[in-house]
Amino acid sequence: MEKNVIRKAVLALREEMKTEEIEEKSQKIMSRLREMVLFQQSLVIMTYVGFGSEVATLPFIAESLALGKRVVVPVCMPKSKELLISEIKDPKLDLQPQGRIGLLEPPKERLSVIDPQEIDLILMPGIAFDRQGGRVGYGAGYYDRFLASFKKCPLLVALSFDCQLVEAVPVEKHDIPVDWIITENEMIPAT
């Protein structure tokens, strides 16, 4: 239950931000990510596609492709609560508004499945994070279930605004901690 209290409180804070503030802070977060050697060394990157008040990732997708990296995005399967992944080659064609809320995802006819084991780095969305790498997502368990399927988990880097950092999030057995949290002000290695 406590996770839900945190979800509600932090989402409310995040949603107070104006569009320009989200853009500006997202750009700062992305410049920190670009400077990370671990990012520079990654060839296959999985990233969520920022929606609403989430840290924006769309410009980053185009940039990574221009750098010659391979980019994959999650595709939510609401019935099974599973995450599929699909490779993006051309963001305009491969990302189109889907479902009720218009989340940018690959349309069915453009799904391009790749082996998750090829992923080097995952940019993780989330609602709240703590400095130990604890993460509260939207509450469906999509990422926890997806990450549990790896033999060797890729590097997990969470993108978060400062206002999403909390003292400690409740951690359950199935929760997989992130390795790094990048905010507009800090690079935080999970301890």
- The residues binding ligand ATP (CB under 6 A) are 3, 136-145, 148, 172, 174-175
Whether 20 contacts 86, CB under 8 Å: no
Selection from 64, 141, 75 nearest residue 104 by Cα: 75
Cβ proximity to Mg ion, 120 vs 144, nearer residue: 144
Least distance (Å) between residue 170 CB and ligand ATP: 9
Which positions from 124 through 163 interact with Mg ion, judged by CB under 5 A? Answer: 144
- Say how many C-beta atoms besides its own lie within 10 A of residue 25's C-beta: 19
Least distance (Å) between residue 53 CB and ligand ATP: 16
Least distance (Å) between residue 13 CB and ligand ATP: 17
Count of residues interacting with Mg ion (CB under 5 A) = 2
> Which residues, including other chains, have CB under 8 Å from residue 61's CB and lie 6 or more apart?
47, 49, 71, 73, 88, 91, 95
| Residues contributing to the site for Mg ion (CB under 5 A) | 144, 175
